[in-house]
Homo-oligomer: A and B are copies of this chain.
Amino acid sequence: MAQNKHTTAVIFNTLRDRICLLDYPPGTVLREAALAKEFGISRTPIRAVLQRLEHGALVAVRDGVGTIVTDLDSTELKDIYEMRQKMAELIGVLSPREITYADEQAAIDLLGRAKRLVKDYSASEYWQINHAQHALIADLIGNAVLRETWDQLYYRSARFWYREASHAPEGVAGDLVAELSEVVRALHKRDAVAVGYTQRNFIAYGFAKLQAALSPDQPIS
């Protein structure tokens, strides 16, 4: 019955992905007992995982009710996206690590996958490329504190972007190709500042797309 720390990490990632991929849409009520039964463990480690998710602002635990997947109003979404843009601008400023040939190659691989995605779209593949691009860029960040914040904000906003991408999948694959093309160019020039500003720009473009699809002052779902 012993569950090591790795097991709880797997459960955390599983639940986080389910929330980000809208398997658990905002407002969903999660029950500790049900999750415990599903993963074959007791409520205690499940509660620890839910507390971590709550700290990441993905869920809210309410006594006597359950653990509710959070939603965002337009103000909160704006705050997150504005912050993400500012964090992107810092990527190349706060002592980034040196860009290598391997980084460039990894981005070129992702670009190839994105190009194939234009002809043959798949939501799952889109998401995986997005994730990989995020991990690639996060790894360039030298400042550990910035990297943590960058990571948290990515997961905090991912599902709302994923939702928009699901609703209008025609353009997003092409946009991803454009974004990765710029990332490849910046990496080829070994210019971390350019990588950061590219990220800032496409985060801003994405936010504009989200706002256009959103009636003002209305909850998202």
Contact = CB atoms under 8 A, between A and B. Distances in A.
Interface of A: 5, 47-48, 51-52, 55, 63, 76, 79-80, 82-83, 86, 90, 93-95, 143-146, 149, 153
A145 B48 CA distance: 23
Contact of A82 (B55, B80, B94): B94
Contacts of A79: 94, 143-146
A150 to B, nearest CB: 11
A83 B146 contact: yes
Given A79-B145, A80-B145, A144-B79, A90 B86 contact: yes
A30 B5 CA distance: 20
A76 B149 contact: no
Contacts of A144: 76, 79
How many copies the complex holds: the figure is 2
Contacts of A149: 83, 149
A63 B143 contact: no
27 contacts: A5-B63, A47-B48, A48-B51, A51-B51, A51-B52, A52-B55, A55-B55, A76-B144, A79-B94, A79-B143, A79-B144, A79-B145, A79-B146, A80-B145, A82-B94, A82-B95, A82-B143, A83-B94, A83-B143, A83-B145, A83-B146, A83-B149, A86-B90, A86-B93, A86-B94, A145-B153, A149-B149
A35 to B, nearest CB: 17
A76, A80, A94 interface centre (most CB from chain B within 10 Å):
A94
A47 B145 CA distance: 25
